[in-house]
C-alpha cells in the first residue's frame, strides 16, 4: 500500500466475494459498507465500473481496524477521495475502496492570536472547497491559490496539488498519517522533500489530516481574490463538462497543453471523449464517454506528442484497473 492507499490494485486482482470478507467486516465496528458500488458516482469524469466493496469508516479507530483486517487477509484496497484525478476501468473492479469523509472530517483552528499566524487543522476527507470557504469566513489567509481545485485535502496532500500561484505545501506545517499496520504517525514539513505534483510521503501510509500555518486576512479581500481565481479558471478551463483536470504533468521547461495543441489534437474525439478545445491538457466527457475511450485518447496524445517532439508525457491522472 502506498500513500494513495493502494495495495496491489493495479496488478492482478484476487477474487473477492461478499461472503469471503463480509464475516470479517462484521467484526469491524462503525463502518458503512456498500457492495458493488459504481465508481462513476465517485469520479469527476463520471466513469468507472463497480468496486466489490466501498467502505466508509466512521472513526480513525474503525479505519485502523479495517486496514489491519484487510491486510491480514490480502484484500487489495485503495483510498478514494474526491475522484478528481482517477480513471477507473469500465468493468467490475475486484477491490475495496475506502473513503475517509466520515472518519477524517474535522476542520478547526488549533491556535489563534491577535497578531500572529493561525494554525488550521483539516481532516483528509474534507473537500478543498469547504476549506477555502472556512478560511474566507474566518479571515485565514494563505490557501486561496487552491480555490477551484476539486477533490479532498488528503488527495491534494498526496500529490502536492497547486497552481502557478502556489501549492498546498506552501502553508503546510505537519501531516498525520496512518501506516499500513494501523499506527498513527506525524510527519513535519522539514521531514518532507516535495516536488512537482508529489509530496514524497512514506510508502504504505494513508493521510488522516494536516495542519496549515495561515495568516490574518480580510474576508472581503480574500473573497475578491478567490472570485478572481475562479473566474480565470472558468475562462481557461472547460468547467462545464465532466473531466479530471490536467491529464499530464508539465515536462521540465515546457507546457503539456502547448505540446498537445501543436500536434493538432485540440478538439480530437474518440467517442464522447474529447481533447478540450479550451484547454488541450484537459479531456472532457461530452456525456457518454467510457473509461476505455478516455484511456485510448490519453494514449493517442502520448503517441502524437512523442512522435512530434520526442517528449514522453507523464500522466498526472491515475489509471485504475485492467482495460
How confident is the model at residue 112, as a pLDDT?
A: 61
According to DSSP H, which parts of the chain are helical? 18-25, 60-72, 128-138, 153-158, 219-236, 256-262, 291-309
Strand order in the sheet with 77-79: 31-38, 50-57, 93-98, 77-79
Q: Which of 189, 197, 232, 269 is catalytic?
A: 197
* pLDDT number for residue 8: 43
Q: How confident is the model at residue 116, as a pLDDT? A: 62
Element (H, E) at 320: strand 318-320
Please identify which of the residues 37, 60, 144, 316 carries the catalytic annotation: 316
Q: Is 246 annotated in the active site?
A: yes
- Pull the grid cell for residue 59: 472513526
CB 40 within 8 A of CB 46: yes
Report strand pairing: 318-320 vs 86-88: parallel
* Contact between 59 and 13 (Cβ < 8 Å): no
Asked about 231 being catalytic, the answer comes back as no
Q: What is the pTM of this model?
A: 0.90
pLDDT at position 20, please?
63
Task: Decide: 28 and 62 in contact? Cβ < 8 Å.
Answer: yes
Instruction: Tell me whether residue 197 is one of the annotated catalytic residues.
Output: yes
How does pLDDT run along the chain (323 residues), one tens digit per residue? 333 444 344 433 445 555 667 777 877 889 999 999 999 999 999 999 999 999 999 999 999 999 998 888 888 899 999 999 999 999 999 899 999 999 999 999 987 655 566 899 999 999 999 999 999 999 999 999 999 999 999 999 999 999 888 999 999 999 999 987 788 999 999 999 999 999 999 888 999 999 999 999 999 999 999 999 999 999 999 999 999 999 999 999 999 999 999 999 999 999 999 999 999 999 999 999 999 999 999 999 999 999 999 999 999 999 999 88
Q: What is the DSSP letter of 201?
A: P
Joined together, the cell numbers standing for residue 48 give 468507472
pLDDT recorded at residue 323 = 87
The one catalytic residue among 103, 246, 276, 291 = 246
Distance (Å, whole) CA 113 – CA 309: 53
- Rounded CA gap, 49 and 320, in Å? 10
- What is the Cα–Cα distance from 160 to 129, expressed in whole angstroms? 16
Tally Cβ neighbours within 10 Å of residue 12: 9
Grid cell digits, residue 265? 489534437
Q: What is the pLDDT of residue 111?
A: 72
Q: How many residues in the chain?
A: 323
Amino acid at each position: 500500500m502506498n500513500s494513495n492507499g493502494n495495495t496491489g490494485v493495479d496488478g492482478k486482482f484476487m477474487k473477492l466475494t461478499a461472503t469471503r470478507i463480509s464475516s470479517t467486516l462484521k467484526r469491524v465496528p462503525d463502518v458503512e459498507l456498500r457492495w458493488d458500488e459504481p465508481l462513476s458516482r465517485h469520479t469527476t469524469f463520471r466513469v468507472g465500473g463497480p468496486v466489490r466493496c466501498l467502505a466508509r469508516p466512521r472513526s480513525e479507530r474503525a479505519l485502523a481496524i479495517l486496514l489491519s483486517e484487510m491486510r491480514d487477509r490480502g484484500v487489495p484496497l485503495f483510498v478514494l477521495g474526491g475522484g478528481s484525478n482517477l480513471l477507473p476501468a469500465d468493468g467490475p473492479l475486484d477491490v475495496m475502496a475506502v473513503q475517509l469523509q466520515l472518519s477524517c472530517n474535522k476542520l478547526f483552528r488549533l491556535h489563534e492570536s491577535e497578531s500572529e499566524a493561525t494554525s488550521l487543522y483539516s481532516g483528509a476527507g474534507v473537500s478543498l472547497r469547504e476549506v477555502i470557504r472556512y478560511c474566507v469566513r474566518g479571515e485565514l489567509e494563505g490557501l486561496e491559490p487552491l480555490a477551484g481545485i476539486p477533490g479532498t485535502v488528503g488527495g491534494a496532500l498526496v500529490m502536492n496539488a497547486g497552481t502557478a500561484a502556489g501549492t498546498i505545501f506552501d502553508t503546510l506545517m505537519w501531516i498525520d498519517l496512518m501506516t499500513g499496520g494501523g499506527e498513527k504517525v506525524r510527519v513535519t514539513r522539514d521531514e518532507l522533500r516535495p516536488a512537482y505534483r508529489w509530496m514524497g510521503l512514506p510508502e504504505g501510509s494513508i493521510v488522516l489530516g494536516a495542519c496549515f500555518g495561515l495568516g490574518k486576512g480580510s474576508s472581503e479581500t480574500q473573497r475578491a481574490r478567490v472570485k478572481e481565481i475562479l473566474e480565470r479558471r472558468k475562462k481557461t478551463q472547460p468547467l462545464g463538462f465532466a473531466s479530471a483536470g490536467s491529464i499530464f504533468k508539465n515536462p521540465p521547461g515546457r507546457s503539456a497543453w502547448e505540446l498537445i495543441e501543436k500536434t493538432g489534437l485540440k478538439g480530437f474525439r474518440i467517442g464522447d471523449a474529447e481533447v478540450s478545445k479550451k484547454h488541450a491538457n484537459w479531456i472532457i466527457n461530452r456525456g457518454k464517454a467510457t473509461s476505455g475511450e478516455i484511456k485510448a485518447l490519453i494514449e493517442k496524445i502520448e503517441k502524437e506528442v512523442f512522435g512530434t517532439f520526442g517528449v514522453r508525457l507523464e500522466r498526472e491522472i491515475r489509471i485504475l484497473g485492467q482495460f
